[in-house]
Structure 1
Amino acid sequence: MLADPLFELTRQNNAEFSRACTANRLLRLAFALGLKNKADRYVSGRLTKRMFNILQSDSVNERGERRVPAGILGILEGFNFNRDTSLQNVLWAPYSITLNQTAMLTTISIPSFIAKAMIDTASGANTFRLTAMVASVHFEKETFPVEPVQTDILDRSLQLHENLQLQMPVIDHQPDHSIIVGLGIEFFHQKRAIIEPVDKKHNALAVVKVF
Structure 2
Amino acid sequence: MKKKTPLNRKRVLADPAFELTRQNNAEFSRACTANRLLRQAFKLGMRNKADRYVSGRLTKTMFKILQSDLVNGRGERRVPQGVLTTLKGFNFNRDTNLQNVLKAPYSIIFDNQLMRATISFPSIIPQAMIDTASGANAFMLTALAASVDLEKEAFPVEPVQTDILDLALQHHKDLQLQIPVIDYQPDKTVIVALGIEFFLDDRGSITPVDKKHNALAVVKVF
Question: TM-score higher than 0.5 here?
Answer: yes
Q: CA RMSD in A?
A: 0.9
What corresponds to 1:192 in structure 2?
Answer: 203
Q: Does the 8 Å CA contact 2:161/2:177 hold for their aligned counterparts? A: yes
Where has structure 1 moved over 6 Å in runs of 4 or more? Answer: none
d(CA) in 2 for partners of 1:141, 1:92: 35
1:151 aligns with 2:162: yes
Q: Does the 8 Å CA contact 2:122/2:175 hold for their aligned counterparts? A: yes
What corresponds to 2:151 in structure 1?
Answer: 140
What corresponds to 1:5 in structure 2?
Answer: 16
- Which secondary structure state, in structure 2, belongs to the residue aligned with residue 102 of structure 1? coil
- Which secondary structure state, in structure 1, belongs to the residue aligned with residue 14 of structure 2? coil
Q: Residue 74 of structure 2 is aligned with which of 63, 70, 75?
A: 63
d(CA) in 2 for partners of 1:116, 1:67: 44
Normalising by structure 2, report the TM-score: 0.93
Opposite residue 190 of structure 2, the aligned amino acid is: I
1:97 aligns with 2:102: no
Opposite residue 207 of structure 2, the aligned amino acid is: E
What corresponds to 1:86 in structure 2?
Answer: 97
Percent identical pairs in the alignment equals 75
Q: Residue 42 of structure 2 is aligned with which of 28, 31, 36?
A: 31
Bigger shift: residues 154-163 or 125-134: 154-163
What corresponds to 2:137 in structure 1?
Answer: 126
What corresponds to 2:216 in structure 1?
Answer: 205
What corresponds to 1:43 in structure 2?
Answer: 54
Q: Does the 8 Å CA contact 2:108/2:117 hold for their aligned counterparts? A: yes
Q: Residue 125 of structure 2 is aligned with which of 92, 102, 114?
A: 114
Opposite residue 73 of structure 1, the aligned amino acid is: L
1:30-72 deviations in Å (ceiling 9; x for gaps): 1111110111111110000000000000000010000000000
Computing the radius of gyration from Cα coordinates, the structure with the larger value is 2
The alignment covers a number of residue pairs equal to 211
